[in-house]
Amino acid sequence: MRRYDLITPEGTKDYLFEECARKRMVENRTRSIFKSMGYTRVITPGLEFLDVFSQNAHYFPPEELCKLTDNKGRLMAVRPDSTMPIARVAATRLKDAPLPLRLYYTQPVYRFTPSLKGRSTEVNQTGIELLGSASEMADIEVISAALSVLSSVGQDVPEPFSVHYSLELGDVRIFRELMHRLNASPAQKEEIYALIESKNYPALNDMLDRIGKNPLTQALRKLPTLFGGEEVFEKASEVFRDARIQEILDSLQELYHTVCALMKGGTVLVDLGLVNRTDYYTGLVIKGYLEGCGEEVISGGRYDTLLSEFGYDIPAVGMAVNVDAVANVIGRKYTPHPAPADVLIAAEKGCEALAVQKAEMLRAEGLCCEHMLGMDDPVEFAKSRGIPKVILMNADTVTEVMVGE
């Protein structure tokens, strides 16, 4: 029988030393940002009933979900996302809590990815959910958290460096509004969705030509090309010429100005072609990019209908940080080395209790203290590990030896 007891499943890995340290660095920094903004941590279970992730308005492609059954044969999923479980908690145990609720999480999500593509099944995420407010200030608060995370990348290492970053804004309502008015079959609409999401201009144009040439299809044609800086808003007004869409554009432009004022060193982008096919966003969407990372490191937006699917009709906005992606970007410039202990204590037989007490005293002073195990020469051992100081203990004496080079 072939046994798989020495390897980890594809898409997962062990985090050792420097990888672990970088991941913790990102988590600690994001955590302190979120805490200082008044967010409280929640931990949701790794396993949930499948139904949590297969509501009407949002769903996960079944091939991406890691599924198993409980002891009653009910289908469960290993958490593929943290927002839906948090929506579930908010709609149940937190239903009577005063609003707004500010919650954050730091936990992995699991999604199967196509085999051998170099993608991870297990992705460590940290993120915030601001529940119970539809105000613009709530959007701005979440965006400002995203900006703090992006601008902090590379700042926690001994020799800080900065990484160019961009924050992108969009609003899925523009697309939804256009699609709502479009006279096309659900299959055609699904295809248009995919083509706009992949900015597949040639195929989109062909598709829309088949449906017919009118102002609406012209607008849909232009939608994925409307990305960049502030010039996008002017172009968009010309393309859409519609009061309702103009209203959405105006509020997005106002938000754009606010974000520009908040920006320190990064770039603000707009993409009206962000349509987020498979998730639960209902308005504002944001993405964060870091130079040197081929996928977005932050993803978020407003999801005003998700909680109502769990029976609690409140608006919400949030965002998630891909901790692994950020840690990888830091890893290009910074490899932490595990520091050696400050002191090695070597005790003769019979003095073990004394040695432990001594070590505890030194640790209380903030030193890192290791015990010598076994019979080797303690000074030689300390030298080989880079430990600067050895304390030799027997029943009568305590001798300190500084380890020379």
Partner 1 sequence: MNKPLRIALTKGRLEKDTVALLERLGYDCTAVHEKGRRLILPIPDANLEVVLAKAADVITYVEHGVCDMGVVGKDTLMEMNGKLFELVNLGFGKCKFALATKKDYPFYDGFGVKTIASKYPNVTRAFFENKGMDVDIVKIEGSVELAPLLGLADGIVDIVETGTTLKENGLEVVEDVCQISARLIVNTVSLKMRQREIEQLVTKIEEMITV
Binding site for partner 1 (CB under 8 A): 114, 117-118, 164, 166, 168, 198-203, 227-228, 269, 271, 289, 291, 293-296
Closest contact distance (angstroms) between CB of 294 and partner 1 is: 2
Which residue type is seen at 325? A
Nearer to partner 1 among residue 202 and residue 338 (C-beta): 202
Nearer to partner 1 among residue 118 and residue 350 (C-beta): 118
Among candidate residues 6, 382, 321, 13, the one with its CA nearest the CA of residue 151: 321
Neighbours of 11 (CB within 10 A): 20
Closest contact distance (angstroms) between CB of 393 and partner 1 is: 55
Who contacts 60 (Cβ-Cβ below 8 Å, separation ≥6)?
Answer: 53, 54, 77, 80, 81, 111, 278
Nearer to partner 1 among residue 295 and residue 376 (C-beta): 295
Among candidate residues 261, 306, 260, 267, the one with its CA nearest the CA of residue 283: 306
Nearer to partner 1 among residue 270 and residue 359 (C-beta): 270
Q: Which residue has the tokens 């002017």?
A: 234
Confirm if 9 and 115 have CB atoms less than 8 A apart.
Answer: no
Closest contact distance (angstroms) between CB of 293 and partner 1 is: 7
Closest contact distance (angstroms) between CB of 76 and partner 1 is: 27
Nearer to partner 1 among residue 98 and residue 294 (C-beta): 294
Structure tokens at 365: 């002073």
Nearer to partner 1 among residue 27 and residue 168 (C-beta): 168
Closest contact distance (angstroms) between CB of 5 and partner 1 is: 30
Closest contact distance (angstroms) between CB of 168 and partner 1 is: 6
DSSP 8-state class, residue 78: E
Who contacts 348 (Cβ-Cβ below 8 Å, separation ≥6)?
Answer: 393, 394, 395
Closest contact distance (angstroms) between CB of 170 and partner 1 is: 11
Phi and psi of 337, rounded to 5°? -105, 135
Closest contact distance (angstroms) between CB of 194 and partner 1 is: 10
Interatomic CA distance for residues 66 and 48, integer angstroms: 11
Sign of the alpha-carbon dihedral angle for 275, 233, 174, 132? positive
Beta strands in 94-181 (DSSP E): 101-110, 122-131, 165-171
Nearer to partner 1 among residue 293 and residue 344 (C-beta): 293
Nearer to partner 1 among residue 118 and residue 404 (C-beta): 118
Phi and psi of 63, rounded to 5°? -75, -15
